[in-house]
Amino acid sequence: MTERQGHVQGLSEHELSEIRMLIEERTGICFDESRERFFSTRVLEHLRTKEMERGTDLLRAIRKSNVEYEALLERLLTQETSFFRYPGVYEAFEKRVLPELHVKKFWKNPRTLRIWSAGCSTGEEPYSVAITIADSLSFAESWNVEILATDVGRHALKHAERGIYTGRSIASVNEKQLANHFTPSGRGFQVKPRLRKMVSFAQMNLASAVYVGRMDMIFCMNVLIYFSEERRRALVQRFYDTLEPGGYLFLGHSESISKMPVKFQAIVLNDCILYRKPTAEELQKPELVTEGRA
């Protein structure tokens, strides 16, 4: 019997659907048919952990208590990540974006770079951004670099704040980066204070419009894929409004905004697409710029 056909041991189709709708309404995360089994298995696991017998008990609990709601949400989040997850993105960031922003902002006072890692999971993404900046931005020490890293998952953020990584998560960090930016800690490696200070972590739900100030770059990789088309559009528009003219949006490899009505320039570099917010003068020119290699 499939989940859609009726009961999943203690959970009726109706209860599952109510839970699914509540999660989607509050977070934007959509559990469509392809993620149906994942969803019902995780909800059932949660029901058992909580020693509840019926789905109605769980529904009542998550409606009444934010703590109960967040406990279930934590179980439903997909938080897979790693350092330098897409090497092509970091190469484009280092070779194309940072030099361009350096020219644009070096003589500004204060000399600030503001970056948002939206959906940062356990922190590998914002720390990879910090490492790239520390290693390749000219006169990196003279810049005021602020990386805001946000996620809806509190457990992931706690991990990120500790900054200790092992195994596969850190496999793409090279020897030099490991020596420069980490100290051995137990069986893993902890980010050094200099890197840690570049990043501020905060719990934030992307389904609620929270003002974060103007950003030069936004990394929102592998988050939009979990949202409905409508939420995706709204969020991409919000990212556009948040970016400085000339600022960049980085999305995951399978995330495209080609059908959305925002006026980003799509720049193709190696195996990735960067989205650049045009300046006022550039908006007079053709919208879509497709370029060659980095």
Ligand X SMILES: C[S@@+](CC[C@H](N)C(=O)[O-])C[C@H]1O[C@@H](n2cnc3c(N)ncnc32)[C@H](O)[C@@H]1O
Report the site for ligand X in 47-66 (rule: CB under 6 A): none
Q: Is 205:236 a contact under the CB 8 Å cutoff?
A: no
Using DSSP, how many helices (H) and how many strands (E) does the chain show?
11, 10
Q: What angle in degrees, to the nearest 10, is found between the helix axes of 66-76 and 154-162?
A: 70
Q: Is 53 helix (H, G, I), strand (E, B) or coil?
A: coil
Among 16, 23, 29, 218, binds ligand X (CB under 6 A): 29
State yes or no: residue 216 binds ligand X (CB under 6 A): no
Confirm or reject binding of residue 72 to ligand X (CB under 6 A).
no
Give, as ranges, the residues between 97 and 116 that touch ligand X (CB under 6 A): none
Which range, of 8-16, 21-29, 32-40, 169-177, touches ligand X by CB under 6 A? Answer: 21-29
Q: State which residue, 26 or 111, has the beta carbon closest to ligand X.
A: 26
Please, what is the Cα angle at 262 between 151 and 209, to 5 degrees? 35
207 binds ligand X, rule: CB under 6 A: yes
Told to check if 169 binds ligand X by CB under 6 A, we report no
Among 221, 249, 267, 269, binds ligand X (CB under 6 A): 221
**Exposure letters 39-64 (e unless 16+ CB within 10 A, then b):** bbebbbebbeeeebeebeebbebbee
Query: Shortest CA distance to 127 belongs to which of 197, 77, 74?
Result: 197
Q: Please identify, using beta-carbon distances, which residue of 207 and 262 lies nearer to ligand X.
A: 207
Kindly tell me which of 27 and 177 has the beta carbon lying closer to ligand X. 27
Chain centroid to CA 52: 33
CB of residue 235 vs ligand X: minimum separation in angstroms? 9
Please, how many CA atoms are within 13 Å of residue 10, restricted to the half-sphere of its CB? 17
Q: Is 40 a binder of ligand X (CB under 6 A)?
A: no
Whichever of 8 and 149 has its CB closer to ligand X, that residue is 149
CB neighbourhood size of 238 (10 A): 17
Helix (H, G, I), strand (E, B) or coil at 40: helix
What tokens were used for 178?
């490991």
Q: Answer yes or no whether residue 223 interacts with ligand X by CB under 6 A.
A: yes
Name 209's Cβ contacts closer than 8 Å, sequence gap at least 6. 238
Using CB under 6 A as the criterion, what x/- string covers residues 241-260 for binding ligand X? -----------x--------
270 binds ligand X (CB under 6 A): no
Least Å distance, CB 124 to ligand X, is 6
Interaction mask 118-147, ligand X, x per CB under 6 A: -xxx---x----------------------
Point out which span in 64-72, 200-208, 259-267, 284-292 binds ligand X (CB under 6 A). Answer: 200-208
CA atoms within 13 A on the CB side of 208: 8
- 149 near ligand X, rule: CB under 6 A: no
**CA distances (Å), origin 94, targets 45, 89, 138, 178, 233:** 43, 9, 11, 18, 28
Site size with ligand X, rule: CB under 6 A: 25
Residues that bind ligand X (CB under 6 A): 27-29, 77-81, 85, 119-121, 125, 151-153, 156, 205-207, 221-223, 226, 252
